[in-house]
Amino acid sequence: MTGPLICVALGIEARAVRRGLPPGHDEVIRLGMGPRRAARAAAGLPPGVPLALTGFAGALDDGLSPGEVLVASEVRYDGQVWPCPSAPLIAGDLARAGLAVQTGPVVTTRRVVTGGARRRAAREGMPAAAAERTQGRPAGTQETEHADHANHAEGERAHTNHAEGEPARAADMESGPVAAARAGLPFAVVRVVVDTPSRPLLRPATIAHGLAARRVLTRLGPVLARWAAATGTRRVLLGAPTGDMEGDPGTRPTPDLTLLVRPDARPPHPLRSDAHEPGGLHAVGAPGDVALGWLAGARTIRLAGGPPALVSAVLTALEGLGPLVVEKQRATAEATALPKEAWP
């Protein structure tokens, strides 16, 4: 087993997730419940491969409802924080699949939390642990000397630090040890809420909430499979679309996919086919607009448009899928954004 891994804690979670996976993606690894079992199991997993952890969780505030999905923007455990940069990509695919989904921090606790323990767990990691944030960027990310990283520094800080000071939204008992074991690799946590502060466990509605959450867990399978297929090392050509680039067309790199970043590009859609771009051209207005299905097999991506902060946010989300080599491409003097007639 050398490909990306999908892991859960419990047998009931494994059966639900496996039921929703497409043919050929039915391998789900059960880690066991709790931090100790999760740490032990994570140590024995194949090294160097991406991992998505899913299953049930308890909400720490009533902004989440039973059956709603929380994609971790970061994982907090034992005073450390591991960012999960691909969270917007996963959340976007889940939303397009018709699921209620949010993103936010997940905290790992040593036991099931109830009552006042929920409030204490929500405060864990803010702000002290956030200041000691573990820089869990995928190993090997680099930029060539042509990369215009300085233009994107401010936007990148705004994106990667967005959860500093934000209360944790849900608690589980496994993500932290697994995140620690997979540090530097693509890692995602996707949890389905079973209980909330106002609708706790051990109430008459618990069974109904559990059944609803299990149905949602089954629907996560296709998105988790697409995330797994989208992971890997990429080359990102940062700059104008191919037709606006300097140089001999025969020597230009050919992208597998071109993303035109525009704040007004909602909802995501392909541009008209007469706007020629190798590999297809898609307009996106936010990282969550980038469909995971576009990224499978796309090892060279051209990223054009702006503003710089939004381009940086898309780069950070892509970086959550694996190392990036980012190259700045030079446009011709007359190059501008694609003309209006390129849009549907």
Q: Count Cβ neighbours within 10 Å for each residue of 178-187 and write b for 16 or more, e otherwise.
A: bbbbbebbbb
Q: What pLDDT does residue 157 have? A: 32
Q: Output phi, psi for 53, to 5 deg.
A: -110, 130
CATH 3.40.1010 positions along the chain are 234-342
Q: What pLDDT does residue 272 have? A: 45
Reported CATH class of domain 234-342: alpha beta
Token pair for 83: 């960012």
Q: pTM (2 decimals)? A: 0.81
CA 103 – CA 144 distance, rounded (Å):
32
Quickly tell me which residue has 């989440």 as its tokens. 64
Q: What pLDDT does residue 160 have? A: 37
Token pair for 4: 């990306």
Q: Let me know: does 75 contact 103? Beta carbons within 8 Å.
A: no
CATH 3.40.50.1580 positions along the chain are 5-126+166-230
Task: Kindly list the distances between the CA atom of residue 257 and the CA atoms of 16, 191, 278, 323, in Å, as whole numbers in the listed order.
Answer: 33, 30, 7, 17
Q: What pLDDT does residue 279 have? A: 64
CA 153 – CA 137 distance, rounded (Å):
15
> What letter represents residue 192's amino acid?
V
Q: Output the tens digit of pLDDT for each of the chain's 344 residues.
A: 457 899 999 999 999 999 999 887 778 999 999 999 999 999 999 999 999 999 999 999 999 999 999 999 999 999 999 999 999 999 999 999 999 999 999 999 988 877 777 777 777 755 544 434 433 444 444 444 333 333 333 333 333 344 557 899 999 999 999 999 999 999 999 999 998 888 776 665 556 666 888 999 999 999 999 999 999 999 999 986 554 545 555 556 789 999 999 988 765 455 444 445 556 789 999 999 999 999 999 999 999 998 999 999 999 999 999 999 999 876 544 343 444 434 43
Q: What pLDDT does residue 212 have? A: 83
Q: What pLDDT does residue 263 have? A: 87
Q: What pLDDT does residue 237 have? A: 96
Q: What is the DSSP letter of 45?
A: S
Taking the CA atoms of the chain, what radius of gyration do you get in angstroms?
A: 20
CA 65 – CA 100 distance, rounded (Å):
9
Reported CATH class of domain 5-126+166-230: alpha beta
Q: What pLDDT does residue 130 have? A: 41
Q: Output phi, psi for 164, to 5 deg.
A: -60, 130
Token pair for 196: 């909330």
Helix ranges (DSSP H) in 21-81: 35-43
Q: What pLDDT does residue 3 have? A: 74
Q: What pLDDT does residue 122 have? A: 77
Q: Three-state DSSP class for 295?
A: helix
